[in-house]
Chains A and B, each alone.
Chain A
Amino acid sequence: MSSTQSDSLEEFIPASQTELSRFMTDNAATSQKQIFPVGGRTSLSVCCASSLSGIQVCTSQLNRVIDYPVRDMTITVEAGMRIDHLNEIVSAEGQRLPVDVPQSNRATLGGIIATNTSGPKRFSYGTIRDYVIGTSAVDGTGNLFKSGGRVVKNVAGYDLKKMLVGSLGSLAIISQVSLNLRPKPETLSMVWFTFDSYQKIDRALEALTTSGTRPTAIEYCNSKAARQIAAESRFELPCENDVICISYEGSNNEVHWQTNKIIEEWKEFSPLSAQIVDSDHATRLYNAFVEYQTSSDDPVTLKAVVLPSQMLKFVEAATELNIAVQAHAADGIVFGHLPDSASSLEDVKHILNRLKKEPSLQTGYLTIYQCESEWAEALPLFCSSPPGWSIMREMKNAFDPHQLLNSRRFAELVET
């Protein structure tokens, strides 16, 4: 254990689950200071932590492998383990956690569960919730509780681990996690298409629902985002127009067959260009897509979740507002980096208000994904009430009765 203290924010670094539990019990019983769980500190700007006072509980020392029965293709690790480290361990055995994580050299497992982080390959592999088979966590009063176990199939008891996915550290601090792993594919290739109209893109995306191929990811980016992604990948790609980039994974044989097949299938939608990107270029390009959601220096990054069929309508509106847009097209998840010209809070609110009126958001949600700390208090994390909000509040009260765990973050879930 170690701890530090600044003017308004102390730091506590537990060395074990027991220590974490004891600390939380003591805090709840005595000082009742606000607690801010942090892993790799990659998502703090989701809600301004720096302007708050209390204690940062850092999981950096909870980073051990508890058990890795390789041939069972499961692993149990402490939640503070960095994703790169986890990947390194399982990759040596030809396995992987098939979840895309930006800033994986800093992000921790507990952090990505708490923030429900995902990326392009969620289309084919799902999200972290599909791989977590067991968790241990410490609630706001110090109770260390577990859910699930270490086997891939288990329905004993309530699925409390689901409740922690995306909870933003407001219910409990995740301390240990068991994961189901998957085999590493042999290869990755991508096909970069450019189009000159939303209509053509829409028809092409619709045709993907019956394509002979099985993409692992389907990414859309407008030309503004395409330029940034292409530059990041250090590979010359056409990016004067909107782009659809489709990924394939698997054996060399099947990936090669699919990249050619999709080009053939999409000829009828008259793309301006179609370019296969493979080998190291594909990895770099893919990573650029993964990182893009958090890579911007722009003041605000939005996240919208809409029905996939509504994605382009939302994107069109965002593009008109000069927003750089990347979308997991088949999942309807859109990330938008606001332009530098949105330099004041009023500018940001104006853009938000325009987007909130979009009919494509009627079945969907708009979120402030990241923003500068000085604006955080003035912007709601989520722009509409989630379904089940009253139950969520009761859960918050049950697991954190003194409202100590990232409480502001929870309260800011909805616009007041």
Chain B
Amino acid sequence: MVEQTSQTITQKTPLLAELKKGSSDFSSLVQQLTETVGKEGVLYDAQELLVYECDGYIVDKNAPDIVVFPTSTEQVSKIVKLCNQYNVPFLARGAGTSLSGGCLPIGGGVMIVLTRMKQILEINLRDRYAIVEPGMVNLHLTNALKGTGYHYAPDPSSQGACTIGGNIATNSGGPHTLKYGVTTNHVLGLEAVLPDGSIIELGGPTAEVPGYDLHGLYVGNEGTFGICTKAIVRLTRDPESHRTMLAVFQTIADATRAISEMIAAGIIPSALEMMDQGIIEAVEEAFHFGFPLDAGAVLLIEVDGLEIALDEEVRQILDICNACNVREIQRADTPEERLLIWKSRKQAFGAIGRLSPSYCTQDGVVPRTRLPEILEFIEETSKRYGLKIVNVFHAGDGNVHPILLFDERDQEQIQKVLEASEEILEKCLELGGSVTGEHGIGVEKINFMSRIFNQTDLDAMESVRNIFNPRQICSRDKVLPPIQSDEKSTVKQSHPARHAPH
């Protein structure tokens, strides 16, 4: 069981008011919110609020004071204006699948849950865009497009639950972003309610708009620039065909060399995912796919495109794998077999429960050619701390997800996990990488920002945030560290814990 975090979340912006239940302000705000969205659209019972005290990052928790469920942009705007009127902080939440605390309501206040704004407003195949509300589940858009020859390309592994608005907030990735790019490459424009309640449009359905690329800037703001209420997303042609393979290697070094050789040979697979021995064991035990348990690593390789070109591409990949001492290659010859292979990747996290009562997933990035070094470092770290660490990740992007296994009832292990995670992320930076490839900074990695960026860089980011959100009334204390660089984040980690799959 996860221990309740001690109250370590402090008010950073004293100008904002603390909502006290039972106070006249609280009652009055609840009443006005109820008038705005209806009685069924407002929660303020302490038990009901517990559901919203964190997202996929559960190290720190803090329940909001009130949760509202708007159904239109106008309602969001009214809610935000009320929050301004009562001087209380607010933030948006979609499905809560964020993994870095982006939905943690620091300072309490009002949480605006967008899951009732889930309509597809327009699908325009000729002009290759769709307009959707932010609470639309990612996969539902692709499902709605089935049979049209088009799809929405960004596919985080949580796409069955995560929302498009959340994807925009975090600029999320996924297995197929190696070839097709992350969310920002697929957002043409958006509508947002700014932290003062005004409604603004950025970008649009046309290929470009004059002036600064504000919608590009907005994507990945982690909820700190306002609340996205509508998204215009690019639609992508379905590939004519796929080839999906599992390449089994004796060692991680051989597998990573094959990755590097493929990219160097000019082959950009649509997905290139790696699982190491630790995760293979878990997956095999759970699902009996037939993985050899003594293999060092397995690569899931998918190429897509025109049928006429794929066999040649597969031949090149096989040659490269053979040159890198591949033990065997399993090919998916039917859609069912392809689905099975993908199941092994996407359900890998579900299998981890067989290995350990708790786990913590990290999200480091290194240049692709430095994968052997980071994986070696992770292994060393594992030995040094006496912690089991397994790996399943987007190898083609250099985006590693070491999964640190532990028992959260053991305080000593918790401390080890924290320290080992920090060392691994530091190593990613040392190798020329980053501490987050797709999960975001949120509150989890806020103390890394001053190690990645100097004060001038951070000041530039701060000045942009101040344009959108000058009072930090919206999604406060996220992304950027406190202005005094020696000051730690206002959220202290008590212990890491289980993270949702990604």
List residues of A whose CB falls within 8 A of some B CB. 69-74, 94-95, 116, 122, 126-127, 129-130, 139, 143-147, 149-160, 162-163, 165-167, 171, 182-184, 206, 209-210, 212-214, 250-251, 253-254, 257-258, 305-309, 328, 330-333, 363-365, 367, 381-382, 384, 386-389, 391-392, 394-395, 398-399, 413
When C-beta atoms are compared, the residue in chain A nearest to B216 turns out to be A162
Contact between B171 and A305 (Cβ–Cβ < 8 Å)?
A: no
Establish whether residues A158 and B438, one from each chain, have CB atoms under 8 Å apart when the complex forms.
no
Tell me, yes or no, whether B337 is within 8 Å of chain A by CB. Answer: no
Residues from chain B with a CB closer than 8 A to the CB of A365 are: 206, 209-210
A149-B433, A153-B437 known; A332-B207 Cβ under 8 A: yes
A156 neighbours in B (Cβ, 8 Å): 434-436, 441, 445, 448-449, 452-453
The answer to the question of B40 belonging to the interface, with a C-beta cut-off of 8 Å to chain A, is no
Among B42-50, B345-353, B393-401, the stretch in contact with A: B393-401
Q: Which residues of B sit under 8 angstroms from A394, Cβ to Cβ?
A: 467
CB contact list, B230-282 vs A, under 8 A: 237, 240, 260, 263-264, 266-268
Interface-forming stretch among B196-204, B284-292, B318-326?
A: B196-204
Q: Which stretch from B6-14, B69-77, B134-142, B179-187 is at the chain A interface? A: B179-187
Binds A, one of B27-35, B89-97, B123-131, B415-423: B123-131
Q: Tell whether, in the assembled complex, residue B367 and residue A74 are in contact, meaning their CB atoms are under 8 Å apart.
A: yes
Q: Which residues of B contact A250 (CB under 8 A)?
A: 306, 309
The answer to whether B266 touches A184, judged by C-beta atoms less than 8 angstroms apart, is yes
Neighbouring A residues of B458 by C-beta, 8 Å: 157
5 closest pairs, A vs B, by CB?
A183-B266, A162-B216, A386-B211, A145-B460, A254-B309
Verify if B386 is at the interface (C-beta below 8 Å from A).
Answer: no
CB distance from B324 to the nearest CB of A (A): 14
**Contact A73 B435, beta carbon cutoff 8 Å:** no
Q: With contacts A94-B266, A147-B457, A158-B465 known, is A333 near B216, CB below 8 A?
A: no
The listed residue (A71, A158, A387, A392) touching B220 by CB distance below 8 A is A158
* Given known A145-B456, A145-B457, contact A387–B365 (CB-CB < 8 A): no
Select from chain A the residue with minimum beta-carbon distance to B221: A158
B173 at interface, CB cutoff 8 A = yes
If A253-B312, A395-B212 touch, does A307 touch B435 (CB 8 Å cutoff)? no
User: Number of residue pairs across A and B with beta carbons under 8 Å?
Assistant: 246
Interface 0/1 of B353-374, CB less than 8 Å to A: 0000000000001111100000
Q: Out of A130, A165, A364, which one reaches B181, CB within 8 Å?
A: A130
Contact A398–B217 (Cβ < 8 Å): no
Q: Are the CB atoms of A166 and B212 closer together than 8 Å? A: yes
Task: Give Cα A305–Cα B456 distance, bound, in whole angstroms.
Answer: 36
Which B residues are CB-close (under 8 A) to A251?
Answer: 309, 312
Determine whether the beta carbon of A155 is less than 8 Å from that of B211: no
A258 to B308, CA, bound (A): 10
Given A153-B177, A159-B219, also A183-B268 (CB < 8 A): yes
**CA–CA, A372 to B181, complex, Å?**
39
B440 adjacent to chain A (CB < 8 Å):
yes
Tell me the nearest residue of chain B to A330, going by C-beta.
B128
- Chain B residues within 8 Å of A257, by CB: 306, 308
Tell me, yes or no, whether B463 is within 8 Å of chain A by CB: yes
Q: Is the CB of B456 within 8 A of A144?
A: yes
Residues of B within 8 A of A (CB): 124-128, 149, 170-171, 173, 177, 181-182, 184-185, 189, 200-214, 216-217, 219-221, 237, 240, 260, 263-264, 266-268, 305-306, 308-309, 312, 365-369, 394, 397-399, 432-441, 445, 448-449, 452-453, 456-461, 463-468, 479-480
In the assembled complex, the Cα of A153 lies from the Cα of B176 at a distance in Å of: 12
List A contacts of B208 (CB < 8 A).
116, 127, 166, 305, 333
- Which residue of the partner chain, among B308, B445, B467, contacts A253 with CB atoms under 8 Å? B308
Question: Can you name 29 A-B residue pairings with CB atoms under 8 Å?
Answer: A94-B266, A150-B367, A153-B177, A153-B182, A153-B437, A155-B170, A155-B220, A156-B452, A157-B441, A157-B449, A158-B464, A159-B171, A159-B219, A162-B216, A163-B464, A171-B212, A251-B312, A258-B306, A308-B128, A328-B207, A381-B210, A382-B210, A388-B202, A388-B211, A388-B212, A392-B211, A392-B212, A398-B467, A399-B460
Return the chain A residue nearest B432 by Cβ.
A150
In the complex the two chains form, what is the Cα distance from A363 to B456 in whole Å?
39
Interchain CB contact under 8 A, B204 and A387: yes
User: Complex Cα distance A127/B221, Å?
Assistant: 21
Q: Name the B residues within 8 Å of A154 (CB-CB).
A: 365, 433-434, 436-437
What are the residues of chain A within 8 A of B213 when measuring CB–CB? 116, 129, 162-163, 165-166
**Chain B residues within 8 Å of A389, by CB:** 211
Q: How far is the CA of A219 from the CA of B6 in the complex (A)?
A: 62
| B308: contacting residue among A130, A206, A254, A381, CB under 8 A | A254
B207 near A331 with CB under 8 A, answer yes
Q: Report B311 CB to chain A, min CB distance, Å.
A: 10
- By the criterion CB–CB under 8 Å, are B461 and A158 in contact? yes
Tell me the complex Cα distance, A71–B439, Å. 26
Closest beta carbon of chain B to A21's beta carbon, Å: 9
Are B463 and A398 neighbours in the complex by a CB distance under 8 Å? yes
Is A305 in contact with B216, judged by CB distance below 8 angstroms?
A: no
> Are A151 and B204 closer than 8 Å at their CB atoms?
no
Partner of B464, one of A144, A331, A364, A395: A395
User: Contact: B467 with A395, CB < 8 Å?
Assistant: yes
**B225 (CB) vs chain A CBs: closest residue:** A158
Interchain CB contact under 8 A, B216 and A152: no
Given contacts A153-B182, A155-B439, 10 further A-B contacts (CB under 8 A): A143-B460, A145-B460, A156-B448, A158-B217, A183-B266, A309-B126, A333-B207, A387-B203, A391-B467, A399-B460
Among B213, B312, B436, B453, residue most surrounded by chain A Cβ atoms (within 10 Å): B213
> Which residues of A are found within 8 Å of B452, using beta-carbon distances?
149, 156-157
Whether B210 lies near A254 (C-beta < 8 A) is no
Q: Which chain A residues lie closer than 8 Å to B368 at the CB level?
A: 71-73, 152
* Complex Cα gap A143–B455 (Å): 10
